[in-house]
Amino acid sequence: MKVMVPVKRVVDSNVKVRVKSDGTGVDLVNVKMSMNPFDEIAMEEAVRLRERGVATEVIAVSCGTAACLETLRTAMAIGADRGILVLTNEDLQPLAVAKLLKALLDKEQPQIVVMGKQAVDDDCNQTGQMLAALAGLAQATFASKLEVADGRATVTREVDSGLETISVALPAVVTVDLRLNEPRYVTLPNIMKAKKKPIDTLTPEDLGVDARPRLTVVAMKEPPSRSAGIRVPDVAALVARLRDEAKLI
């Protein structure tokens, strides 16, 4: 069984994001980049499927500039067998990424796509659902547990009311949540091995996909700084203050 895992290069989650002075986007100059944390979890789960003998090959896929090669190498250091880079300088949006993944899905014919439920840079939470819709596949989102056997995937997913367990026929798209697993530490020997693993490079044109953005960012600004707290002498003053605040909303 072949598993495909899309991975995205994003601003490292420990970095404070800053908006450009002209408000056109996020300032990426000299900013540390890393793999999207949700995608790390997806890659770890795919490698575990292979280690359990359920999967035979894990393919990492990334879409973007040549800098995404670093993200693919990290994915292969975790355990992916090979990588595919869709090289483009376009500002890729969820629909464009879903179309690119759909073209790769048709080309590679994986039995399951395991991917992060969202990226921490835009928090769109759309690509997995769009991919499943475009490909006409079953989908299981927000997975906190995944079991694959007998041509089906059993997924425990987190919903507002608790946990829900569903079973979907393969091929399918599964998006993963934070509590699915703890990604392994990438060791130096595995980093060295990853440098020898193959990476195929394609373009949107090779896949017959128009990846131009459909949405335009009008403006971007940082959220207002949090105001300082106040102290009140007693409960009565607190209640009065809360009533005053409620009138202002």
pLDDT: which is higher, 216 or 170: 170
Does residue 221 have a pLDDT over 80?
yes
Residue 38 tokens, joined? 């949700």
Does residue 249 have a pLDDT over 60?
no
Q: What is the mean pLDDT of residues 16-20?
A: 85
Taken in order 159, 157, 165, 99, the sign of the CA dihedral is positive
Q: What is the mean pLDDT of residues 210-238?
A: 87
Say what the pLDDT of residue 248 is. Answer: 59
Q: Tokens 């879409």 map to which residue?
A: 63
* Residues 153/174, Cβ–Cβ less than 8 Å: yes
pLDDT over 70, % of the chain: 99
Q: Report the chain's mean pLDDT, rounded to a whole number.
A: 92
What pTM did the predictor assign?
0.86
Question: Based on C-alpha coordinates, what's the Rg of the chain?
Answer: 21
Q: What is the mean pLDDT of residues 170-176?
A: 96
Say what the pLDDT of residue 158 is. Answer: 85
pLDDT digits (tens, 9 = 90+) for 57-97: 999 999 999 999 999 999 999 999 999 999 999 989 999 99
Domain that holds residue 194: 2-248
Separation between Cα atoms, residue 180 and residue 197, nearest integer Å: 27
- Pinpoint the alpha helices (H) of 67-151: 68-78, 94-108, 127-135
pLDDT: which is higher, 99 or 15: 99
Say what the pLDDT of residue 51 is. Answer: 95
Q: What is the mean pLDDT of residues 96-108?
A: 96
* Residues 23/44, Cβ–Cβ less than 8 Å: no
Say what the pLDDT of residue 89 is. Answer: 93
pLDDT: which is higher, 229 or 172: 172
SS3 call for 196: coil
Q: What is the mean pLDDT of residues 23-37?
A: 87
Domain of residue 80, CATH code? 3.40.50.620
- Establish how many alpha carbons lie within 13 A of residue 98's alpha carbon, considering only the half-sphere containing its beta carbon: 21
pLDDT over 90, % of the chain: 76
Domain count for the chain, please give it.
1
Q: How confident is the model at residue 18 (pLDDT cuts 50, 70, 90)?
A: confident
